[in-house]
Structure 1
Amino acid sequence: MGIIPAAGFARRMPGGAGSKEVFPLPPDGEPVAAHALRALAQAGIEDILMIIRAEKGDIPASLGSGSSWGVGVEYLETDPTRGPVETLDRAYDRVRGATVALALPDLLMTCRDPYTPLLSALHTGPGEDAVLGVFPASSVQPADPVLFDGAPPTLSSTRSGALPAHPQEARPILAIEPKRPGEPEGHGQAQGQALGPQGQWCWGLAVWSPPMTDFIHEEVARGNDLDWGGDWGLGGVFNRAVGAGLRLAGVAVSSDPFLDMGTPEGLALALTGRRTAGR
Structure 2
Amino acid sequence: MSSTSIVGLIPAAGLGSRLQPLPCSKELFPIGFGMDPESQEQRPKVVSSYLIEHMQRAGAEQVYFILRKGKWDIPAYFGDGSALGVNLAYLIMGLPYGTPFSLDQAYSFVKEKLVIFGFPDILVSEPNAYARLLAKQAETKADVVLGIFEAESPEKWDVVDLQSNGSINSVYSKPHQVKLPFAWAFACWTPAFTAFMHAYLQQMQESISTSGKELSIGQVIQAAITNGLKVKSLQFSKGICLDVGTAEDLRKAIIKNT
* TM-score band, normalised by shorter chain: 0.7 to 0.9
- Check if 1:212 corresponds to 2:227: no
Q: Distance in 2 between matches of 1:112 and 1:257?
A: 10
- Please state how far the C-alpha of 1:236 moved relative to its aligned partner: 1.3
Contact map agreement 2:94 2:105 (CA 8 A) in 1:
no
Aligned residue number for residue 161 of structure 1: none
Q: Distance in 1 between matches of 2:83 and 2:239?
A: 27
Aligned residue number for residue 269 of structure 1: 252
Aligned residue number for residue 146 of structure 2: 132
Q: Distance in 1 between matches of 2:156 and 2:116?
A: 23
CA pair 61-274 structure 1, distance change in 2 beyond 3 A: same
Contact map agreement 2:168 2:232 (CA 8 A) in 1:
yes
Aligned residue number for residue 58 of structure 2: 43
Q: Distance in 1 between matches of 2:57 and 2:83?
A: 13
Opposite residue 177 of structure 1, the aligned amino acid is: Y
Identity of aligned residues (%): 32
Aligned residue number for residue 10 of structure 1: 16
Q: Distance in 1 between matches of 2:19 and 2:200?
A: 27
Aligned residue number for residue 101 of structure 2: 86
Opposite residue 145 of structure 2, the aligned amino acid is: V
Aligned residue number for residue 161 of structure 2: 147
- Check if 1:260 corresponds to 2:255: no
Matches within 5 A, 1:126-205: 127-139=141-153, 142-150=156-164, 171-180=166-175, 188-189=177-178, 195=180, 200-205=181-186
- Deviation string 1:105-163 (CA, Å, 9 cap, x unpaired) is 111021111011111121221x3110011122122871011111226xxxxxxxxxxxx
Aligned residue number for residue 164 of structure 1: none
Q: 2:27 aligns with which of 21, 26, 38?
A: 21
Q: Distance in 2 between matches of 1:251 and 1:274?
A: 26
Q: Distance in 2 between matches of 1:240 and 1:258?
A: 25
Q: Distance in 1 between matches of 2:99 and 2:251?
A: 24
- Please state how far the C-alpha of 1:256 moved relative to its aligned partner: 2.2
After the TM superposition, list the runs of 4 or more consecutive aligned residues in structure 1 that deviate by more than 4 angstroms. Answer: none
Normalized per residue, which structure has more helix? Answer: 2
Tell me the SS of whatever aligns to 1:97: coil
CA pair 70-141 structure 1, distance change in 2 beyond 3 A: farther
TM-score, with structure 1 as normaliser: 0.79
Aligned length, in residue pairs: 239
Q: 1:65 aligns with which of 57, 68, 80?
A: 80
CA pair 219-13 structure 1, distance change in 2 beyond 3 A: farther
Aligned residue number for residue 134 of structure 2: 119
Contact map agreement 1:138 1:257 (CA 8 A) in 2:
no
Contact map agreement 1:54 1:79 (CA 8 A) in 2:
no
Tell me the SS of whatever aligns to 2:70: helix
Aligned residue number for residue 247 of structure 1: 230
**Please, which runs of 5 or more residues in structure 2 have no aligned partner?**
1-6, 34-42
**Please, which runs of 5 or more residues in structure 1 have no aligned partner?**
152-170
Contact map agreement 1:53 1:80 (CA 8 A) in 2:
no
Tell me the SS of whatever aligns to 1:204: strand
CA pair 109-204 structure 1, distance change in 2 beyond 3 A: same
- Please state how far the C-alpha of 1:12 moved relative to its aligned partner: 3.2
Opposite residue 46 of structure 2, the aligned amino acid is: P
Aligned residue number for residue 125 of structure 2: 110
CA pair 140-257 structure 1, distance change in 2 beyond 3 A: farther
- Check if 1:77 corresponds to 2:72: no
Q: Distance in 1 between matches of 2:122 and 2:77?
A: 17
